[in-house]
Amino acid sequence: MVVQIGPHTVEVEGDCTLVRLHGTFTLAHMKTWCDLVDAVIAEHGHVFTISDFSGGGDFPADARLHVRHWPNVVYIRGTAIFGASIAATVVVLMMARVTRLVRKYSLPTTAVKTEREARAWIDELRKKLPSPRN
């Protein structure tokens, strides 16, 4: 499923969302993304996220604050970014660190060069998930 959120494209593939950023990911965009991810979590019990920064992009403070306080952030099992500038990479990694400190939740996060590397990293995390109960 592909969803347009403002200028950004979100591809939902099972338990993973891939956001292709094109400019600023505003608070309104973040709220819409959280609603979309809530549906993925309701279906799978968790979510993995990948963000493609190759089209440019940033997260203003109000959007970062919203996701930090979003109750379902604890169901994100891993976040990978690629195509990001050094500054964007630092912001995303700092968001993960703040989440760990404030929410007492460790969010596996990585920055890689390509989408292929991001998907491979997510696949490795997925293998470590506990088996669903029958």
Domain ranges of the chain: 2-127
CA-to-CA distance for 12 and 104, rounded, in angstroms?
27
Sign of CA dihedral 65, 66, 67, 71: positive
Task: Please give the class, per CATH, of domain 2-127.
Answer: alpha beta
Residue 134's pLDDT is 45
- pTM for this one? 0.87
What average pLDDT does range 89-97 have in this prediction?
71
Question: Is 91's pLDDT higher than 90?
Answer: no
In sequence order, which ranges of the chain are alpha helices (DSSP H)? Answer: 27-44, 61-69, 86-103, 115-127
